[in-house]
Structure 1
Amino acid sequence: MNSLSGRFLVLTIIFVMLAEVLIFVPSVARFREDYLLDRLERAQIASLALLATPDDMVAPELEAELLANAEVFNVVLRRDEVRQLILSRPMPPEIYGTYDLRDPSAYELIRDALWNIVMTEDQVIRVIGNPVRGAGEVIEITMPTGPLRAALIDYGIRILILSAVISIFTAALLFLAVRRFLVKPMRRVVDHMTAYAEAPEDARRIIIPDAGVRELRDAEAALQSLQTQLTTALKQKDRLAQLGSAVAKISHDLRNVLTVAQLLADRMERSEDPTVQKAAPKLVRSISRAVNLCEGTLAFGKAEELPPTLSRFNLAPLIDDVLDSEALACDPSEIVLRAEIPPGLMIRADSEQLYRVITNLVRNARQAIEATGQPGEICVLAREEDAEWVVCIRDSGPGLPPKARENLFTAFQGGVRKGGTGLGLVIAAELVRGHGGALDLVRSDESGTEFALRLPRNSAILDAAAE
């Protein structure tokens, strides 16, 4: 009986039996009332037979037979304000109680019926009622309680047997209905969950809601949504794992290539050509960053970032490097790159990681403006507050679409460009969190987009983030 259907079967039998018991008590009281009224009617018929004889005289044998057929001891009929003993026979001298059936309450009928059942001793009672068809004012009879109690018990047993049969039949029907409409659909959901747990990355095992019961269908729909999200997350995790492995392999070979490029860039620095001398330091720094990134990826062995190496440095030259690098990829007449950095603003951070963060944000802004085919502007601003340094990247682009805003920092879902992976902002946010800071979207509408990069000035926070 530990199953849902088994417990429902037991509860149904109990509740139906309880309902039958509640019906049983008033029905027994009704049966007793009908039984007594029938005895009054029989007694009245017997008295009318006597009254129909000349001089109201009958043989003692006939009188005894009439009383025996009515199952009473005597009959008293009140007519014309006169109380007259019509029929009588010897009876026990003591009358146990008197019951008036002319206008009894439901409580009185139930109480007297239960008392007659529990009273095992045969006693004599007086019953008063109204004669039928106006054959007098009041009729009284005296009768034994033994036959009444036997009839009540017989009727009660029959009622209880019938109640048990109805309960079992009703419970069986409800049991089958529950199994058909509740238990089987729930078992199907459990089977789907078990099958899905064996291979959660298999989208074919996601449940399809088809239950006929609305509540179960809602539960299946919620389960389908949960399984879909989990399967998507697992696929993304697998893709990230594969990407991490691929990046490690590529970084290994790319590091070798960049090492050669770094050697050549070092030789270019010794060139006497003014243009080469101006570009060579930037080229060397760019290649050095690429080599450090490859080595960091290889050292860590997976697609996660190393803890930041904190140092104090002037922010303005770093921003200039970012903007100079991006200026090489765009037409200065189409996209204006400018910086508003307070002179001598010193911050404490990992310069290489901060360079990557700002580069990602500026590059995203440039690509968004280029996609519109219209001229635009990108501005990098910075300020120092009491508790943090704030670096803002503003652009006059078209703004982010709703889907991109909803999945802004979700890998493979927050991309705006066709073919983009959406990893740029994910990487940037991860690097900022590594500093104990936050990367927030301040606004994004038709007038442009603004991101705010917040780095804490508290040394304890910075040191904890760097551990």
Structure 2
Amino acid sequence: MAISSQLRKLSGSLRARLLVAIGAILAVGALVLSFAAWQYAATAARDAYDKLLVGGAIQIAENVYLQGGVVTLDPPAAAFSTLSAYDLVFYRVTDPRGVVVAGYDDLAANIPPAALRKGVRLSDGTFRGQKVRIAAVARKIDGAPGDGWAEIVLAQTLAAREALTWDLASKAIGIIAAMSVLALAATALCLRLVFSPLTRIEAEIARRKPDDLSPIAVTPPSEVRALVGAIDGFMQRLDERIKIMQRFIADATHQLRTPLAAIDAQAELLAADGEEPKALEALRERIADLGRLTNQLLDHAMVLHRAQAPRLAPTDINALAKSVLSQAVPLTLDREVSIGFVPCDADAVIEADAISLREALANLIHNALVHGARSSLTVIVEPSGAGLAICIRDDGPGIPPEAQARLVVPFQKGETSRGSGLGLAIASEVAQAHGGSLRFSGGDGDFSVLMELPAGDTGRPS
């Protein structure tokens, strides 16, 4: 069924959209966490090797001593061995006079001497084309010439730091990626469970017979209750439309059977009855009745269809009523009838369905000519409340008050009427589709049928 297919598409689409959205959020979160993990790994590696570098600088400072009036260094092998395991290590020792007594002459810390005397200072730099981390400190040597402060500078390349950073970051990023994949898989499983009510609704609709338009029995979750309610409402409207069409077919079949049988009987009389002119005239009347009935049945079906979704547009009721009157009155009548039209002086343009309104007016004018008017018929367009009223007034006997409500029901006829019983029903249904009503007033000699129409768009279904 179409509804089942739409539910399947909706369910799949929502699941895919949610998976894509959650996947995008997880991907962004993974990138942010990966960047944070990289920063943390870089900080951890820097701190670890900075401590080794500071320890090495302190050990070198502790091995600087005065011998024979000259500042001398006894290099600490253990410190150099630890620092040079993965990196190149450079150092320099300068005596209080500024003379380099050990290490590389061109290695400098670029840190003020006063700062070095307060403790080890760390900085970044470049030595011989390589990025290095530098630790510098000053040590007071008793008896040394000058001010007695010797300067120790120790530098290390960054290969070991970068290796440790990659190691820590890759492990953290691997864990983040695994958790993101697991989270996405768990989301997919949860979505499968969350959308299972839609799958059950789909299965119920797929199992139904074509004529089963009852409400869906599965209780939906609150998030899709409005959707299921809309589907139930659609099936209810579809069921009502099918019943209307079935009623129309049954009524049409029943109503057409009688005049057709009468035509058949009249045709047989043409051959057997000696008074052929009378039989022929009766046959012509039956044929005319059949034509009128067929047209009204089709008009009624059209009105029922358009009443469900009226095509409202600005319509000049004066022009419409005048046009219908000129076309609905035959050129010859079996009696003298005065025809009149009184337009509305005010603005007569309202939102209306011109096609169905034309059919309703044509039926009202025909009813007035055939069953009402003795010598006069007038169509009047006049203001009524917040809209307009189209009044068909004649000098006929009118409709008794007790029969008025009954005669707006399809196929309900007056006691002496030979009509189909559809004219007033069509007019009433058109008025109701526009948000108005059909009203009767007056009595014998001055009877009116008023179709009241609101000026606004109140007839459009919500």
TM-score for the superposition, normalised by structure 2: 0.49
Larger helix fraction of residues: 1
